[in-house]
A and B are shown apart, each in its own frame.
Chain A
Amino acid sequence: MYNFEFEKPGSVADAVAALGAEDAQALGGGQTLIPTLKQRLNQPSKLVSLSGIADMKGVSASGGMITIGGATTHATVAAEASAYPALAATAAHIGDPAVRNRGTIGGSLANNDPAACYPAALLGSGGSVKTDNRDIDADEYFQGMFSTALEEGEIITGVTFNIPEKANYQKFVQPASRFALVGVFVAKHADGVRVAITGASEDGVFRWSEAETALSSNFSAAALDGISVSADGMITDLHGTGAYRAHLLGILTKRAVAAAA
């Protein structure tokens, strides 16, 4: 790892100021960033830890929405997001227990790994990402693999999810990394169904609109019979081909619909 300065501010304003330094980067729980730095794939001049900002931690629910502070760990979401059980269950299966005690929701969403779980949960639920200076709609936020609407130095201070009538996340675990080989988040809202897929597309998380249309008129696994996704643009790697992932996401979507609660 190349060396860097370390700073741990106690407020969002101080963190924004610290991130103004050239090549400074925010540090969430570090469960992706630190391994990346070890591989010398990145060389920040300064890491600005967000873990000392009390305002960015915690879970609160009201008015059909749940808001999670950007520096809240996966373990805390798993334990405290009882107002949205499918979200708590999603958080409870990220990585392993020690990773969940450090990794944060803001860090995961800022990184937007194409196989991460939270992007599917947020895009599937609908909602918004709150930063130090604006709110970004979930549908505008994800812009491709490892790419988001965040500007340089912008910090995710909180994330708001719309709580659906029913939801479920099905994750086919890649057992070495604990990431999703494919993950499917299905949410049945009063005004329609949202289906978000992670782990499959070369463009990162995406909504499967054909399935959404079918499920919005008939919320049952049978409504998906005959609907499939093309393997074009699906990730092919040593764990599975694009065709395999395209098939798997159909199966997992059916399972998610059947299990939605």
Chain B
Amino acid sequence: MNKVSMTVNGKAVSGEVEGRTLLSSFLRDDINLTGTHVGCDTSQCGACVVHVDGEAVKSCTMLAAEADGAEVKTIEGMANADGSLSVIQQAFQDHHGLQCGFCTPGMVMSAAALLKENPQPSEQEVRTYLEGNICRCTGYHNIVKAIMAASGQDVSVIAAE
């Protein structure tokens, strides 16, 4: 067993994990943050994306022991301090950027990582960045629209079909 300590959404957490314990398993099963979803478990779908030391990673393809000492941020840490939705989350609601919602935690975490490195992405840049996040409901249009809107851009011209 390996002792791990990390900061998750600003709070210090620690635990004991097996070598094989995935970061996604630690978050969901050990500290009960089930907002991080495991969709494919093969690192393709991106539902499990969280931020580790500020960078988007697929938490189903990183060992929990590797995150020892890291700052981790999950979907549970995205809302504003008063509990209201963050700009990105609100934009997903406003632009209907989800249907079943399963992929949404990963989409929001990837969107946040994109907007941090590229605050005003073009529609194409948003679509390219989301290559590792799969949504089986929306056809992506409204997700792209929500992310563009969250970046403060006019989205009235983006196709809505």
Q: Mark A residues whose CB is within 8 Å of B.
A: 1-6, 8, 27, 30-31, 34-35, 37-38, 46-47, 49, 51, 75, 95-99, 101-102, 176-178
- Do residues B131 and A31 form an inter-chain contact, with CB atoms below 8 A? no
Known: A31-B43, A75-B55, A101-B57. 15 other contacts (CB 8 A): A3-B20, A6-B2, A27-B63, A30-B62, A30-B66, A38-B42, A95-B132, A96-B131, A97-B114, A98-B110, A99-B58, A101-B55, A102-B57, A102-B61, A102-B62
- Do residues A4 and B62 form an inter-chain contact, with CB atoms below 8 A? no
**With known contacts A3-B19, A4-B20, A97-B110, A34–B132 Cβ distance under 8 A:** no
Determine whether B135 belongs to the interface, using a CB cutoff of 8 Å to chain A. no
Residue from A3, A5, A34 within 8 A of B43 (CB atoms): A34
Report the 8 A-B pairs with minimum CB-CB distance, sorted nearest first: A96-B132, A6-B19, A101-B55, A96-B131, A6-B65, A1-B20, A4-B19, A98-B56
- Do residues B19 and A96 form an inter-chain contact, with CB atoms below 8 A? no
Give the distance in Å from the alpha carbon of A4 to the alpha carbon of B20 in the complex: 6
Give the distance in Å from the alpha carbon of A176 to the alpha carbon of B43 in the complex: 11
Q: For residue A99, which residue of chain B has the nearest CB?
A: B132
Q: Mark B residues whose CB is within 8 Å of A.
A: 2, 18-20, 22, 41-44, 46, 49, 55-58, 61-63, 65-66, 68, 110, 113-114, 129, 131-133
Residue from A2, A6, A95 within 8 A of B63 (CB atoms): A6
Closest beta carbon of chain B to A260's beta carbon, Å: 23
Residues in A with CB closer than 8 Å to B43 are 31, 34-35, 99
**With known contacts A3-B19, A31-B43, A96-B132, A8–B113 Cβ distance under 8 A:** no
- Do residues A101 and B131 form an inter-chain contact, with CB atoms below 8 A? no
Closest beta carbon of chain B to A91's beta carbon, Å: 15
Residues in B with CB closer than 8 Å to A31 are 43, 61
Pairs A–B under 8 Å by Cβ, sample size 29: A3-B20, A4-B20, A6-B19, A8-B65, A27-B63, A30-B63, A31-B43, A34-B22, A35-B43, A35-B61, A38-B42, A47-B19, A47-B63, A49-B63, A49-B65, A49-B66, A95-B132, A97-B56, A97-B113, A98-B46, A98-B49, A98-B56, A99-B43, A101-B55, A102-B57, A102-B58, A102-B62, A176-B44, A177-B44
